[in-house]
Structures are given as structure tokens and as C-alpha cells.
Amino acid sequence: MLRFGIRSTLRQFGIYPDLPSQGGLIPQLSELVWRIWSRDCDRGPISRTGVATELLTLAWAASFQAEIDAAPSTTITAEDTKPLYFTEPRPAELAYLNRVNEYRAVTPSLLQALREFLAENRQTIDERLGHPWRVASVRQFYLRPGEGPEGHPGNKHLDGWPPAIRKLFILPAGATPRTGTTWFRMRDGRETLLDEARPLWSVFENSRVLHALTPGKVPRPTIELNLVPARKTSTDPAYVGINAWYPRFPWN
Ligand SMILES: [Fe+2]
């Protein structure tokens, strides 16, 4: 979540300054516990490149597009979270997120669609990750077109989360330089700019793969899920507020 200035520069060199809410004993303990919890989780095909992209069926693309369009507009706020989750409390960062993304409420019908989608694609995700998982948080938004300073590619950065947590993006209108896309330096060293006009979904290692957002010319519908390692896979996504990213401890 840190994109600006010295923090971003440090992250390019693999140093991850803590969020204000991540300082102190509990967050350090959290990092240690996640590390132990996920010690066998750097496996599966995703461990080769850090990015795994699949085409989304046209039926699912239409369904998710309808979900996003039916959901009321909203904003990310400091309060929209749950205890024991990491959150973004800084006003400047929240203002940045609200400038870049037009958030839509997470509705019960979106969660139902996600349950069905995850159940249908469970085997694919299982195979890509190579370990059990669950969805710790959900949000949906239109990535706004880039104008002014936001039109430039974002800083190359790592998110600095426990590395075994991955992001799953559902992109019912694809991701191209026109709609807004992401640059990656994959774990095998190759650099790539996601450029696929067909509907797709993608799992990526946001704390292992250097990445940079590139806003486009038109709004891009996006559904974001955060996958955490679990003892047992669950395809029932947890919704804990737009500003809740991942739980402090695996059992939260
Ligand atoms: Fe990021």
C-alpha cells in the first residue's frame, strides 16, 4: 500500500517499511506466525513466476460485470474494517486509493457469485498454489482512467505482506494499456505488462513480484480477493470491510 517517496524506493530494494498499524510487537509476532504457518507454501506452479493468469468464461465475465454495475458506489474509509485485520489508517493513502479506484460496495449477491466461481475453479487454484487456501478479504472497484499525475505508471513496489498471501484479481473486461494494467517483474526475472483484452482472472504474489500499476484511458472493472494459506481450503469468501486486507494471525 505504500507507494510514495522513500518507502517506495526502499521497497524496490527489498526493504519493507511497516505501515503505522504494523509497527510494534503484535505485528512482528504476526509476521513470524504467518512465516511459520506458511513455511511449506512456496510451491505449486505459481512459485516459478509469481503470476498465474487464466481466461474467464464469457458467462462469468457478464455475471461479474453485472455485479459491479449493480453495486452502489462507495469509498474506502479508515473505519471500514474489522478488528484483528491489517488496515490502512493514513488519510493521504486513503485519499490516493479513492482517487485511483472508484469503489463499489461488496453486496451479498457478489459474495454469492464469488462462492460459485471459487467452487467451480477450486481445483485450478489448488493446483496453482499447491496448498489449501481461503479468501481473507474482498473488494470491487473500477480502476479509474489515469489523468494528471495518476496517469503515470505507479512506482515499482512490493506490498510487504507475508509472502504466502496472494492477490486474485477478476477482470471481466480484461487488462490492457487502454483499460489499465500492471507491469510485473516475475520471479524468473522476465518483465511483462499484462495485455489481454479478453476477460481474465489472475493470481499474483504481491509481496514477491515487483509490480507497478498503469492506469488506462477507460475505467476497468476489478474484483480483488486476498488469498491466505489455510489448514483446509474454503471457497466461502470472508467479507470484512473494504479497508481490511489480511488477518493479523492465521486463526483470526
Ligand atoms: Fe501493490
pLDDT per residue as tens digits for the range 109-140: 999 999 999 999 999 999 999 999 999 999 99
Cα(74) to centroid(ligand 1), Å: 21
Any idea which residue has 457478464 for its cell?
62
Show the 3-state SS of 89-145: CCHHHHHHHHHHEEEECCCHHHHHHHHHHHHHHHHHHHHHHCCCEEEEEEEEEEECC
101 Cα–ligand 1 center, Å = 13
**5, three cell numbers:** 517517496
CA distance 229 to 68: 27
pLDDT value for 152: 64
CA of 206 from ligand 1 middle (Å) equals 6
* Range in 59-63, 64-68, 87-91 with the lowest mean pLDDT: 87-91
> What pTM did the predictor assign?
0.89
pLDDT band with cut points at 50, 70 and 90 for residue 27: confident
Q: According to the 3-state scheme, what is the secondary structure of 182-251? A: EEEECCCCCEEECCECCCEEEEECCCCCEEEEECCCCCEEEEEEEEEECCCCCCCCCCCCCCCCCECCCC
pLDDT value of residue 25: 84
Q: Ligand 1 centre and the CA of 207: distance in Å?
A: 8
Read off φ and ψ for residue 236, nearest 5 degrees: -100, 105
Q: What is the pLDDT of residues 149-180, one digit of tens each?
A: 555 667 889 998 999 999 999 999 999 999 99
Quote the cell numbers at residue 4.
Answer: 510514495
Query: How remote is the CA of residue 104 from the centroid of ligand 1, in Å?
Result: 19
Map out the domains of the chain with their CATH numbers.
Answer: 5-229 (2.60.120.620)
Distance from the CA of 179 to the center of ligand 1, in angstroms? 18
Centroid of ligand 1 to alpha carbon of 168 (angstroms): 12
Question: Measured in angstroms, how far is the CA atom of residue 132 from the centroid of ligand 1?
Answer: 23
* Cα of 128 vs its chain's centroid, Å: 16
Q: Are 85 and 51 in contact (CB under 8 A)?
A: no
Q: How far is the CA of 244 from the centre of ligand 1 (A)?
A: 15
pLDDT over threshold 80, residue 3: no
